[in-house]
């Protein structure tokens, strides 16, 4: 079980960071599964892959 306080925090932080729409649900599931001892490494990878990055290598 994830308390609604945690769910609300996930929602707020995702909005604050302007994350893609499907990301919030996946991050919420990641945390819920971590709390339920129900986590696979690939879950972490899935969530990481959804995080947009700056196009690498255009410094200087």
CA distance linking residue 21 with residue 46, whole number of Å: 15
Work out whether 6 is an interface residue with another protein (CB under 8 A). yes
CA distance linking residue 10 with residue 27, whole number of Å: 7
Candidate residues 20, 22, 41, 46; the one interacting with another protein per rule CB under 8 A = 41
Candidate residues 15, 20, 35, 46; the one interacting with another protein per rule CB under 8 A = 35
Rounded to a whole number of angstroms, the minimum distance from the CB of residue 22 to another protein is 15
Tokens (6 digits) for 17 = 């960071």
Rounded to a whole number of angstroms, the minimum distance from the CB of residue 31 to another protein is 6
């Amino acid at each position: 079980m994830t308390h609604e306080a945690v769910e609300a925090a996930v929602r707020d932080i995702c909005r604050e960071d302007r994350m893609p729409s499907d990301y919030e649900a996946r991050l919420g599931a990641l945390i819920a599964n971590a709390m339920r001892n129900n986590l696979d490494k690939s879950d972490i990878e899935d969530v990481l892959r959804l995080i947009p990055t700056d196009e690498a290598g255009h410094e200087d």
